[in-house]
Amino acid sequence: MARASSNILLPYENKWVAVSKDGKKVVASATDVKVLSEKLEKLNIADAIMTWVMPFNHSFSPFHV
Amino acid sequence: MSKILEFTYHRYLGKDPKTNQQIEKFRPTLPIRISKGDKSSFYFQALIDSGSDRNLFPAGIAEFVGINVSKGGKREIEGIGGHVIRSYTHSVLITIWNSISFETEIDFSYDHQFPLLGRHGFFDKFKKISFREKKRTIEFKT
């Protein structure tokens, strides 16, 4: 599996994104993972990988509230 | 038969608190999906978190596969700073990126975003999990 370049995440702080399998582009985004999943289903994109883009000035320990 | 799986840490963006410069942060995540009956989620990155007692996912992932989240067993989960959130436990099938699958329990919450794979229900499914911080890889032995 290709490694995503983190720069493509720059416009998506605090959002869920779906990244193409090759890691080169964000194919969809949403503030909620369910909404993002529904978008992927509509776009018929089966092989993207979703990830949560944390606020850039946050560290993780151990959950975000 | 025993199996070894190796995954590379995933790249995220962060900011250096001293300089405010953009930096890359590498986190030990794993692309997984969940399934309930015939419906599966899309793959998503989940953090492998030895500090979490249990698996904790955002409720939206469960809703997408048709789970009625609030019908699950209620739990209160406490994190850093004493913050407590409500979650609902359901049994699902987890599939690790194009490899193994197993049934497990996951707590789903409307107050949480980053999926966490914890010790009960994830770590205890493996003989060994090794973090290689310098190499930024994680290895699982089944």
CATH number reported for the structural domain that contains residue B100 in this entry: 2.40.70.10
Cα separation of B62 and B127, whole Å? 28
pLDDT band at A63 (very low <50, low <70, confident <90, very high): very low
Cα separation of B3 and B100, whole Å? 9
Cα separation of B41 and B43, whole Å? 6
At A3-41, the pLDDT tens digits run: 556 888 889 999 999 999 888 899 999 999 999 999 999
Q: Which candidate in B8, B9, B11 is best for mutational testing of the A interface (most A CBs within 10 A)? A: B11
Task: Output the DSSP codes for B104-123.
Answer: EEEEEETT--S-EE-TBTTG
Paired tokens of A41? 């289903």
Closest-CA distance, A11 to chain B, in angstroms, reads 11
Torsion angle (degrees, nearest 10) of CA A8, B139, B3, A50? -20
Q: Which of A4, A18, A34 sits opposite B63 (nearest CB)?
A: A34
Start-to-end CA span in chain A (Å)? 31
Q: Helix, strand or coil for residue B26?
A: strand
**Does B126 reach chain A within 8 Å, measured CB to CB?**
no
Per-residue pLDDT tens digits of chain B, which is 142 residues long: 899 999 999 988 888 888 888 888 899 999 999 999 999 999 999 999 999 999 999 999 999 999 999 999 999 998 877 889 999 999 999 999 989 999 999 999 999 999 999 999 999 999 999 999 999 999 999 9
**Does A40 reach chain B within 8 Å, measured CB to CB?**
yes
For chain B, the domain total comes to 1
In this model, does residue A1 exceed pLDDT 60?
Answer: no
Q: Which domain holds residue B48?
A: 4-141
Q: Which of A37, A57, A65 sits opposite B41 (nearest CB)?
A: A37
Query: What is the pTM assigned to this prediction?
Result: 0.92
Residues of B in contact with A24 (CB under 8 A): none
